[in-house]
Structure 1
């Protein structure tokens, strides 16, 4: 832009340097605030408040414990190869499941994450076992013997050894009394894959982005504790509160 020569009259009538600076700052603020509002609008579609029961649980969803009362339903979206899910099983949910047996309905849903190469095969093993009425025994085998199939030889990183994992899954199937031929057929069945896909789709509707994600009566549990005993106590507190409501 070509510069114009200024004189005393136009200088007095024009805006000062400070004024232009103020306008620039305000304009930038409008852009920034507008951007924030855009992001807020994009997030406004995320679920707010309690999630609908029919999203969190289907009639054929697997349960670890059930209650004749519908007072409290706990739903966990999980990944069988997720190390934190395994830690929750060992330190939070397995004991809770036993202590609240018959008092709550505890539902588990599949939410395999892409960074865990054996998450889907493990979910298939769990779902195939459920078709023979042995979901809970397989669930306990998968988490109870987690290092044997889920971890690499270093004991730290997750494994991608599908052959080793499948051999373990078959050994678990034999140990819990499954029909092995049916188990193998169900592993590859569209019905089993559909149950996994449905869990992932429902989790996304509920705003799940990682595992484990737990809901108590449709409200997402947001742990604040720094240790697993703290988290367990917090979760029990929410369940107890719901039972008394």
Structure 2
């Protein structure tokens, strides 16, 4: 009986310690984010960051994403819905956290597409066919090229820009900013500096709409 009580007491201590640590982590994270007062500047936004939206309501959404991340693909329609519904109100900022084997190759294509103002269309196509080019059993990122014409790109120009572009500094800076913001995975979102804690349609819309209408 004493052993059972001791085990139970130990479990309670572990649970309390876990929730205490979680509470302090969350508090420290919130305080850390509050120290970055301007959402339109580093570490949230850089001059070379991809942005969408008119931002008439001064609502800045920052997404750290990886084009080879399955969760990023699954959540991409939610991001598109936000832009469709609140394009005039928000600014969406796309940042990278490349953590998969083929991420840099695909990001290089994305950055090259910016020269034709086709970034969003290219990203849509890349996510649409992610299962084709990122097959874990036999990944072949070059397969994505056969689908890219669907984005309305000048393919010859894209190939030239792809070969010429250097994204090393972009990836380095985005990684450093992600580290500063304690980003631990993709996709991760910040809305006016507030981190999206639950990756769900409702939670995302609730956070964005709160910043727009309150």
| TM-score scaled by length of structure 2 | 0.76
In the alignment, what sits opposite 1:61?
A: 49
- CA offset at residue 46 of structure 1? 9.9
Instruction: Determine if contact 1:74/1:215 at 8 Å carries over to the other structure.
Output: yes
Distance, in Å, in 2 between the alignment partners of 1:47 and 1:134 is 37
Q: Number of paired residues?
A: 189
Instruction: Determine if contact 2:196/2:203 at 8 Å carries over to the other structure.
Output: no
Q: CA offsets per residue over residues 157-204 of structure 1, 9 Å max, x none? A: x3553xx32232x23443334333432233244533322322222212
> Cα–Cα, structure 1 residues 46 and 216, in superposed 2: closer, same or farther, change >3 Å?
closer
> Cα–Cα, structure 1 residues 131 and 199, in superposed 2: closer, same or farther, change >3 Å?
farther
In the alignment, what sits opposite 1:76?
A: 63
In the alignment, what sits opposite 2:212?
A: 243
In the alignment, what sits opposite 1:117?
A: 101
Verify: 1:107 aligned to 2:97, yes or no.
no
> Cα–Cα, structure 1 residues 47 and 166, in superposed 2: closer, same or farther, change >3 Å?
farther
In the alignment, what sits opposite 1:133?
A: 117
Distance, in Å, in 2 between the alignment partners of 1:47 and 1:183 is 43
Instruction: Specify which of 214, 225, 229 is matched with residue 189 of structure 2.
Output: 214
Matched ranges for 1:178-189 at <5 A: 178-189=153-164
Verify: 1:49 aligned to 2:33, yes or no.
yes
Equivalent residue of 1:191, what SS?
coil
Instruction: Determine if contact 1:47/1:205 at 8 Å carries over to the other structure.
Output: no
- CA offset at residue 117 of structure 1? 1.0
In the alignment, what sits opposite 1:25?
A: none
Equivalent residue of 2:62, what SS?
strand
Structure 1 unaligned regions, length at least 5: 1-39, 153-157
> Cα–Cα, structure 1 residues 132 and 194, in superposed 2: closer, same or farther, change >3 Å?
farther
- CA offset at residue 99 of structure 1? 1.8
Matched ranges for 1:144-163 at <5 A: 144-150=128-134, 152=135, 158=136, 161=139
Instruction: Determine if contact 2:59/2:211 at 8 Å carries over to the other structure.
Output: yes
Instruction: Determine if contact 1:78/1:211 at 8 Å carries over to the other structure.
Output: yes
**Segment of structure 1 superposing worse, 198-207 or 175-184:** 175-184
Q: CA offsets per residue over residues 68-103 of structure 1, 9 Å max, x none? A: 42510111000111111111114x322222122222
| RMSD of aligned alpha carbons | 3.0
Verify: 1:233 aligned to 2:202, yes or no.
yes
Instruction: Determine if contact 1:149/1:159 at 8 Å carries over to the other structure.
Output: no
Distance, in Å, in 1 between the alignment partners of 2:177 and 2:205 is 25
